[in-house]
Chain A
Amino acid sequence: MLNIKGLKVDLEEEEKSILKGVDLDVKAGEVHAIMGPNGSGKSTLSYVLSGKDGYEVTGGEATLDGVDLLDMEPEERAAAGLFLAFQYPVEIPGVGNMTFLRTAVNAQRKARGQEELSAGDFLKEVRARAKDLKIDADMLKRPVNVGFSGGEKKRNEILQMAMLEPKMCIMDETDSGLDVDAMKLVADGVNALRSEGRAFLVITHYQRLLDHIKPDVVHIMSEGRIIKSGGPELALEVENNGYADLLAEAS
């Protein structure tokens, strides 16, 4: 599924190296978690994988099912099955949430040579998925993320993920700022999507989310590198002792 080898990334605007050789191998059906102090490069990794401007790849590679991701436009990566739940979902005034979802779903279908969903089928699908995430009709009508609370924005990300049915889901701090109930909704949403053909890369600071979404592998990232990988117990260690010991151990 997602294969990253020696990925090195600089900022385009200034001479600054952010990722200094990241290796990651996420197989179909697996859930990997990435933890690490603020500023270690977790969001950068997720942005570079999804094709955001402003970064320069100076070394290494990233492939999805053997296809080079870094060579593609962001929309091509999405159509190839990559999805990023943003740490800070973007507000888009003037574009209705529903219009946005339908445009995205149909654009991906078109790119894959599938027929567009009819308005009726689409509506049925959205309503069902939105209900599971406790997203009401009003939120679907409003402009994308405009005036949404932090929790509503994150649930809206999961709704998009559910509608787009990607094979590789990256979630960047989706749990930050969520209360216990909202986190449960998000976790249930993710667990409902878990399948043999789908993988998750969950960026988080907290064990809490990982209680609900059981990871197969946990990675610790620091200063642009994965400094340690292990089982779910690694997340517990972070929860109990923070990063200090792990960082000391690595250096």
Chain B
Amino acid sequence: MALPKLKQEATDARLAEAVLPDGPAWARAAREEALHRAARMGLPHRRDEYWKFTDPSALVAVDSAPAEVMDDDDALFEGAGALTLVFVDGVFDSDASDDLSGAGIEISRLAEAQDISWARDLYGSLELAGQTPVERPLAALNTATATDGVLIRATGKADRPVCLRYRRSAEDADAVLHHVIRVEEGASVTLLETGSAAARLSTVTEVSVADGAAFHHVRQQGRDHGRRMNTHTFARIGAESTFKSFTLSLNGVLTRNDCVIEMLGDDAVAHVAGACVGDGEKFHHDDTVFITHDALNGESRQVFKKVLRNGAVGVFQGKILVKEGAQKTDGYQISQSLLLDGDSQFLAKPELEIYADDVACSHGSTSGAISEEALFYLRSRGVPESQATNLLTLAFLAEALEEIDDDALADDLRERLAGWLDRHAG
């Protein structure tokens, strides 16, 4: 089927500039296939079903707009004892990074990958599976053009977390990273991500979690004001496995986080959560989540909280799909926004699609202002208005942060949030 004219033009323009990195034959093949995929689907347009609330043109455009580099010497997660891998403007910095063999798991760079059989089977395959029923062409473009990333395979319990620390040096860096993670049966690993990677960043993270395995993911997205990014997480999880991902976002101009999870084994657990604070009319933050239950007794949670002020816009599109036979599914979804003024906006599209009869699924979405009663109560105790507002803001976000299992990591983010609110006190 022919693509609409504008979409075709934008797609042609971008793909004409696409450079497929060199690499082993398997990677080359995966990239070429992905490029065809992107060309066939066409890159996203505002008229697409899942881009109604978020204008993708800056993500699709051939050139990325430069964004001022913020001095973001990032100490977040430093107490986690993680094996740290540093990317500067999307390029791996081996001098600044730890030795790759230091966490008791296999780690290699995508850019240096040769014949890694487990990665060969995965690279681009979860992204491909995630293209139905909803197309995600930017992810295909990422698979085709990603210049680097990490390949992680855990066969046992990782000795320590792996932390990807993104830094920036150039105003116009346009980075494309692709990570592949495989957690083998009974194994577990925690992935941390933090920092500002580029003026425009695209990441795809493919995660395969085998039976009885666990994957934990906690990230803080770049705090530089002008940056734009789209991230995709594609997860496929097995029986009695755990997948948990949390994202904190502050600042930035445009953030679109897609998370696609397929629960293929019985008794699996999948939680995705996020907290974001947006300030100013340039701020636009979009969480788009799609969880598919395709096995018995699965438990999934989506918990998203957004604080918006001074004209900021927040979007949540979340879906729970329960396939035929996925009995005893327990699916929960909540998206809430705290609008600190009348100019800010929250757009939510919660969806449930259920083909099994013995399930418990619930979803809710709310938008509200700060409680005047609570604010006065705090002020009557001597807490100044801006401080009281911050306290109530943190309280609102607390429910999302509670989704993080590791208390120390959650405290790191809580502190980060409190600091941000203090500095931006209205």
Instruction: Tell me whether chain B's interface is mostly helix, strand or loop, or mixed.
Output: helix
A78 and B381 within 8 A (CB): yes
Q: How far is the CB of B134 from chain A (nearest CB, A)?
A: 34
Name the interface residues of A126-156: CB closer than 8 Å to any CB of B.
143
Name the interface residues of B352-393: CB closer than 8 Å to any CB of A.
371-374, 376-385, 387-388, 391-392
B383 and A104 within 8 A (CB): yes
Contact among A78, A91, A93, A94 for B379, CB-based, below 8 A: A78
Q: Given that A103-B387, A111-B382 are known contacts, is A94 also in contact with B372, CB under 8 Å in the complex?
A: no
Query: In the complex the two chains form, what is the Cα distance from A99 to B371 in whole Å?
Result: 18
Which of A16-24, A48-56, A60-68, A194-202 lines the interface with chain B? A48-56
Query: In the complex the two chains form, what is the Cα distance from A164 to B383 in whole Å?
Result: 12
Q: How far is the CB of B267 from chain A (nearest CB, A)?
A: 31
Q: Given that A90-B373, A107-B383 are known contacts, is A100 also in contact with B396, CB under 8 Å in the complex?
A: no
Report A-chain residues with C-beta under 8 Å of the C-beta of B55: none
Q: How far is the CB of A152 from chain B (nearest CB, A)?
A: 16
Q: Which residue of B lies closest to A95 (CB)?
A: B395
Q: Which of B383, B385, B394 has the most CB of A within 10 A?
A: B383
Report A-chain residues with C-beta under 8 Å of the C-beta of B385: 73, 75
A104 and B395 within 8 A (CB): no
Query: In the complex the two chains form, what is the Cα distance from A83 to B374 in whole Å?
Result: 16
Report A-chain residues with C-beta under 8 Å of the C-beta of B377: 86, 89-90, 92
Q: Given that A53-B376, A90-B377 are known contacts, is A95 also in contact with B392, CB under 8 Å in the complex?
A: yes
Q: Which residue of B lies closest to A81 (CB)?
A: B382
Q: Say yes or no: is B399 at the interface (Cβ < 8 Å to chain A).
A: yes
Query: In the complex the two chains form, what is the Cα distance from A92 to B377 in whole Å?
Result: 9
Report B-chain residues with C-beta under 8 Å of the C-beta of A103: 378, 383, 387, 391
Q: Say yes or no: is A186 at the interface (Cβ < 8 Å to chain B).
A: no
Q: Say yes or no: is A79 at the interface (Cβ < 8 Å to chain B).
A: yes
Q: Which of B371, B377, B381, B388 has the most CB of A within 10 A?
A: B381
Q: Say yes or no: is B398 at the interface (Cβ < 8 Å to chain A).
A: yes
Query: Which 7 pairs, one residue from A and one from B, show the smallest C-beta to C-beta distance?
Result: A94-B395, A78-B382, A104-B381, A108-B382, A74-B379, A90-B377, A94-B398
Interface residues of B (CB under 8 A from A): 371-374, 376-385, 387-388, 391-392, 394-396, 398-399
Provide 22 A-B residue pairs closer than 8 Å at the C-beta atoms, listed in order of the A residue: A51-B379, A52-B380, A73-B379, A77-B380, A78-B379, A79-B382, A86-B377, A90-B377, A91-B374, A92-B374, A92-B377, A92-B378, A92-B395, A95-B395, A99-B391, A100-B378, A100-B381, A103-B378, A103-B383, A103-B391, A104-B378, A160-B381
